[in-house]
Chain A
Amino acid sequence: MTSSHSTPDSASRQARLIIIGAGFAGLGLGMRLRQRGDTDFLVLERAADVGGTWRDNDYPGCACDVPSHLYSFSFRPNPNWSRVFSPGPEIQQYLRECARESGLLPHIRFGTDMLAARWQAERRRWLIETQHGDFEAEVLITATGHLADERLPEVPGLESFTGEVFHSARWNHQAELKGKRIGVVGSGASAIQVVPQMAEVASELVVFQRSAAYVIPRADRAYTAAEQRLFARDPECMHALRSEFFWNGEYNFAQRRNVPRYLQEAKDLALGHLARQVSDPVLRQKLTPDYEVGCKRLLISNDYFPALSRPNVTLEASALARVEGSQGVAANGASHTLDVLVLATGFEATRPPFAKRVFGSAGHSLDAQWDQGMQAFDSIAVNGFPNLFILNGPNTGLGHNSVVYIIEAQVDYLLEALDHMRQQQIAVLEADAQAEDAYMDALHQRSQGTVWLAGGCKSWYVDPRSGRLTLVWPDYAHAFRDANGHFHPEGYHPTPATPST
């Protein structure tokens, strides 16, 4: 470590940059900052560990739907991934190693929750209130992710449930599951990973499915020790594999773009998988989606359908409508006695809770400003919120590729913005309102006709208030980097730094 790689004082309460969250986005930015010798930053993390969604989602069976050699930092490849799709704890371990190796840990204030962040125009600083006192920064970067705050279903009587109830991302590891009657609410990405695990231990398992998911085969396998050693010895092989995964993922954007031939290809793959794995025509019918493939997240699993075919498992093709004591009652009227209820109901994605805590120059919250849905110039900055940059915010999700790639593009953008401020002696950057609207209108145009808007489903990609696609980037991932991998000063109002007198 050179002396330029100093770390902040443990009592330090101010920094040029404060980053909220130590998941993939916050760590990626922190690593890049340290790599280039920038040490004037702090990371506020509400939990006791790094990892974000990979720390929170420690439910049995958790894994990623993107191949690990792609779902990792390009600047920190890992030759030791155990599988094509490595299990969740391995990803969490990777992020811990990234944080430790890069010297990030002294920058991170664990157990420190951003309660409110307020722009102080006269001081040109963000004031960040936490339960451990206030922090101050010139630039605030939220890196809170799309999958940070669990969404709980509004089920009447849920509080009357006599058994154990918890969300999949807040797993109760003390709860006894063996031999219990377990209900799983949901049929999304978390549910299809939890269900096969629960089917193994439960005496009876009931799955409450509001709508069926398209599921395609998971081309998973373990890497051999020889392959791992080759990756370490010849990193080009790892890069070649990463490129192959990336471009194979990009290919699938044609499905989301709603090109008939590729839509049919995906549908055939999913329905063929269903037909091969489920022989019972009644169950198969319940598992056949009624919307276009890709409108909701396309899932990958080899063990979900077989789990549903087990004699101890019941699929209710119906939402959980209410709870009465120990009874879970489906919308179709079926009632099941349950000991444990797992809510695999996803996350607050289109209306992120962090936005209720960030207050801009007019005094209102970002959530209030976003009363018709999230929006940001270049998917990163918002008019009225000077010196705020949002990583993995509006229109940065993908339905077909690795979000880590998007995060890296946004980090590149942000580093250029910071350099620009320094070089041009700019104290404050604020996105121009017209530039922001024009960006959003262009995205809305791009979204037209995509399967997310035209696919006839209700998904977490679309804001119900506006009907606009606010979560997903409606194009190729490479097009995001082409559009937003470099800072665009022309979209901002700069305020010069006051000359020192």
Chain B
Amino acid sequence: MSLALQPSGAVEIDGARVPYYDAGPHDSGRLPLLLIHGTAGNTNSHLGYLFPMLAYRQRVIALDLSPAPGQEQAELTVEDLVAQVMAVARQLLGPNQGFALMGYSLGAVVAAATAGLHPERVQQLVLVAGWIKTDTQQQLRNHVWRTLRQTVGEAEVLRDYMAFCAFSPAFMQARSLTDMQAAASAIPLSPWVDRQMALNSRVDITALVERIRATTLVIACSDDQMVPRHHSQALFGAIEDARYLELASGHAVVFERPAELFHAIDQFTRAPTAHAAGTRIPATRP
């Protein structure tokens, strides 16, 4: 019995081999849901909780965004990643079928861009801790990261800094420094991560976001230091058919509040228009 999710297959696109995961019932009455992980993640690390649990509700597809061999120095673009998403969608859903798309962090940028480029395919959209245009606060953090990366390489302090940015103060308060450093040590570093971080420093999908027609749920994390919630608010304002929900979490919501995130996504894909466009959905008070 393997503890990790196993890919169901892979597609080749622009020289990259992109593994995908496909599970859950096809007769749930919901659109197939594609999931896109964030920076320095993959399906197992970022979506290890959401993917199997959502698959008890509906068909879910995820992919591992992947580098093409021999292009380690190339500048990564949002469009490169959109192409990987669409390649998986074409492979599993054919050329025409509509689907729902959820992206987290950089995955949310990719999801929003995909929805803007392919409004006929992406009918429902969930953007978790996403953004439209990298701003000064993010550039400054990215600059500190890049400087550390260039000077210390893969030293512990770089991962500690990443954990410091990713988790909320409240989450860390309930844990020890040792616990947090152990969590940090699991963060992967690689030339592929470097390229994603470089992309993060120069995102601007303003024009694409204007073209989004999907029924959209924007999810912000209240204590996000990497993608502060004003970015999600900007998406809420920019997308016509959007509703907005805020979760009490840092950027690392897939680790801090995976079950609450599951609930938000599950409720939305079951009844996407239960909240009218423009609604600020109140947080659950258990």
A-side residues, CB < 8 A to B, are 70, 74, 239-240, 242-244, 246-247, 250-251, 253-254, 257, 259-262, 264, 405, 476-478, 482
Closest Cβ neighbor of B247 among chain A residues = A247
Contact among A246, A254, A264 with B49 in the assembled complex (CB-CB below 8 Å): A254
The interface stretch among B79-87, B128-136, B210-218, B256-264 is B256-264
Given contacts A260-B1, A261-B3, A478-B284, contact A251 B56 (CB under 8 A): no
B-side residues, CB < 8 A to A, are 1-4, 48-49, 52-53, 56, 170, 174, 248, 257-260, 262-263, 267, 283-286
B248 touching A264, Cβ below 8 Å: no
Given contacts A74-B285, A476-B259, contact A240 B248 (CB under 8 A): yes
B259 touching A251, Cβ below 8 Å: yes
B248 touching A243, Cβ below 8 Å: yes
A-B residue pairs, 5 tightest by C-beta: A250-B259, A246-B286, A261-B3, A251-B259, A247-B260
Closest Cβ neighbor of A262 among chain B residues = B49
A261 touching B48, Cβ below 8 Å: yes
Closest Cβ neighbor of A261 among chain B residues = B3
Contact among A70, A74, A253 with B259 in the assembled complex (CB-CB below 8 Å): A253
- What residues on B are CB-neighbors of A253 within 8 Å? 259
Nearest CB in chain A: distance from B130 CB, A:
21
- What residues on B are CB-neighbors of A243 within 8 Å? 248, 283-286
Cβ contacts A to B, 22 pairs, < 8 Å: A74-B285, A239-B285, A240-B170, A240-B248, A243-B283, A243-B284, A244-B248, A247-B260, A250-B260, A251-B258, A251-B259, A254-B52, A257-B56, A259-B52, A260-B1, A261-B48, A262-B49, A405-B286, A476-B259, A476-B263, A478-B263, A478-B284
- What residues on B are CB-neighbors of A239 within 8 Å? 285
Nearest CB in chain B: distance from A404 CB, A:
10
B3 touching A260, Cβ below 8 Å: yes
- What residues on A are CB-neighbors of B56 within 8 Å? 257
- What residues on B are CB-neighbors of A482 within 8 Å? 267
A259 to B260, CA, bound (A): 17
- What residues on B are CB-neighbors of A251 within 8 Å? 49, 258-259
A239 to B284, CA, bound (A): 11
Given contacts A247-B260, A259-B52, contact A70 B286 (CB under 8 A): yes
Closest Cβ neighbor of B51 among chain A residues = A259
- What residues on B are CB-neighbors of A264 within 8 Å? 3
- What residues on A are CB-neighbors of B53 within 8 Å? 254, 257, 259
B263 touching A242, Cβ below 8 Å: no
B286 touching A74, Cβ below 8 Å: yes
A247 touching B257, Cβ below 8 Å: yes
- What residues on A are CB-neighbors of B286 within 8 Å? 70, 74, 242-243, 246-247, 405, 477-478
Known: A74-B285, A478-B284, A482-B267; 13 extra A-B contacts, CB below 8 A, are A239-B285, A240-B170, A243-B286, A244-B174, A244-B248, A246-B286, A247-B260, A251-B258, A253-B259, A260-B3, A477-B286, A478-B263, A478-B286
- What residues on A are CB-neighbors of B49 within 8 Å? 251, 254, 262
Contact among B1, B48, B259, B267 with A247 in the assembled complex (CB-CB below 8 Å): B259
A476 to B265, CA, bound (A): 14
Nearest CB in chain B: distance from A25 CB, A:
17
- What residues on A are CB-neighbors of B285 within 8 Å? 74, 239, 243
B1, B4, B248, B262: residue with the most chain A Cβ atoms closer than 10 Å: B262
Nearest CB in chain B: distance from A86 CB, A:
18
B259, B262, B263: residue with the most chain A Cβ atoms closer than 10 Å: B259
- What residues on B are CB-neighbors of A250 within 8 Å? 259-260, 263
Closest Cβ neighbor of B56 among chain A residues = A257
Nearest CB in chain B: distance from A1 CB, A:
28
Nearest CB in chain B: distance from A255 CB, A:
11
- What residues on B are CB-neighbors of A254 within 8 Å? 49, 52-53, 259
Contact among B170, B263, B267 with A244 in the assembled complex (CB-CB below 8 Å): B170
